[in-house]
Amino acid sequence: MTGSEKLVLSRGDITEATTDAIVNAANQGLVGGGGVDGAIHRAGGPEIMAECDRIRAEKGGCPTGTAVVTTAGRLRARVVIHTAGPRWKGGAKGEAEDLASCYRACMELAREGGHRSVAFPSISTGIYGYPVEEAAEIALSTVAGHLERHPDAFDEARFVLFSEADLEVYKRALDRLKEGSPDSA
């Protein structure tokens, strides 16, 4: 079984995900914000921000490409994994590696925590301006690679896309990933 077989794409609101862990597209300061970050904090309640405050006091925040874990508060998930994605600066400033690092760090924290299912938004493609087409390729290939390296650790990695347009981009990227898989020959 390839890692891409455990990838699931859906359109919806990530705050309603029933996976063990959900990923928050946070900022480096873990201070809350708009988009996915704001939605998760609003739906999850003040417990999430209280833990972000503690992490910020202990570690200074969440540098780009890293991730931290908090409670999920009132969300259905057990935990929220916060990651700070890169801002798009044209593609020649290490953005691709930073974005891949976000997904790797999240998958590693989920695996270490025994969380068998994880839901991701499209990290960095909102206000941070990362082109969705490029982000989808990086996201799906990075997560599929982690699933292949740890086949018994996960049941599912779900990408919850807010718009139909983003979902279509991710579907095409997943089709290309599956076409390139050694098991598809």
Active site residues: 37
Closest CA to 160 of 2, 5, 3, 24: 24
Amino acid at 2: T
Beta strands in 16-78 (DSSP E): 21-26, 67-71
As given in the structure block, the two tokens for residue 143 are: 């997560």
Look at residue 151 and give its three-state secondary structure. Answer: coil
Strand ranges of the sheet holding 7-11, from the earlier edge strand across to the other edge? 7-11, 156-161, 117-120, 21-26, 79-84, 67-71
Strands 21-26 vs 117-120: parallel, antiparallel or unpaired: parallel
Helix ranges, the chain (H): 35-44, 46-59, 95-112, 132-149, 164-179
